[in-house]
Structure 1
Amino acid sequence: MLSVVWLDEAISDLIDIVTFIAAHNPGAARRLKTRLEGAPLPLTEHPYLYPNGRVPGTREIVVHPNYVLVYRVTAERIEIVSVLHAREEYP
């Protein structure tokens, strides 16, 4: 079973998103944070559960209609690369 590791950029993305939403709706920010943090949990047993990402070597989880979690699978672990707003230009 692979472990899930959030890379620094993804942690920063998560903090920025939650902080922005919390300024307007703290309850929604808490709920979204819980969803974003919980989304990768099934990956420990099923790392290829979600479709290939727009960047080669990545995969994407649509956690919420507005947010996408980008990850990559390595031999040792699953790396959460970034958290994106769906309207954000990516890559």
Structure 2
Amino acid sequence: MTILWTQPARDSFCQHIEYLLKRSPAGARKVKTVVLEAIAHLEQTPFMGRPGRWQNTRELVIDKHPYIVAYRINVEIIEILYIHHTRQDWPVNR
């Protein structure tokens, strides 16, 4: 399967990393690596995430970090929809 990032997913991920960079560059690098590795793992096990809040989506909870990756599985594509920080309000339906 191929992983495709939507623009809202890219934007939200970049915002989280930029925020972390101001406080801890090493921490930002660690979070970035962990999230990207978890997303890459979806290629082999796309159904590993729990059923999502949005229709026809799944959510990958990032272990030891307060992030959830919202994604959708389409035939041969895993569409990354949004990177959510658990202390923020969940955005409206996508």
Instruction: Report if TM-score (shorter chain) is over 0.5.
Output: yes
Aligned AA (1:26): P
Report the Cα distance in structure 2 between the residues aligned to 1:20 and 1:42, rounded to whole angstroms: 25
Normalised TM-score (structure 2): 0.88
Structure 1: gaps (5+ residues): none
Give yes or no for contact 1:71–1:81 (8 Å, CA) kept in 2: yes
Judging changes above 3 Å, is the alpha-carbon distance between structure 1 residues 34 and 65 closer, same or farther for their aligned structure 2 residues? closer
Cross-structure match for 1:71: 71
Structure 2: gaps (5+ residues): none
The yes-or-no answer on 1:44 pairing with 2:66 is: no
The sequence identity of aligned pairs, in percent, is: 28
**SS across alignment from 2:60:** strand
Normalised TM-score (structure 1): 0.91
> Higher helix proportion, which one?
2
Superposed CA offset, 1:39-83 (max 9, x none): 112221221111101111111111144111111000130010000
Report the Cα distance in structure 1 between the residues aligned to 2:22 and 2:87, rounded to whole angstroms: 20
Aligned length: 90
